[in-house]
Amino acid sequence: MTTRLEVESAIKQLPKEEARNLAKWLQEYLDELWDQQIEADLASGKLDRLIAQAEADIANGNVRDLGEVLRNS
């Protein structure tokens, strides 16, 4: 198995464009892993409490419009 340090060393030897392409691929890979984890958490019920709280906040008017939040930040 290749170690992280070996991978880092190999990356440093890549031309800039190849390193950028690798970074893009890695971000897409990590995004896919994140999506899979969210889907698994959703299917298992781990997010049910958070979803219920968000729905209750919306029903009670305890939310602000995103545009308002962004303008005030």
Q: For 25-50, give the DSSP string.
A: HHHHHHHHHHHHHHHHHHHHTTTHHH
Q: What would the pLDDT profile of 5-51 be if each residue is shown by its tens digit?
A: 999 999 999 999 999 999 999 999 999 999 999 999 999 999 999 99
User: What's the whole-model pTM score?
Assistant: 0.71
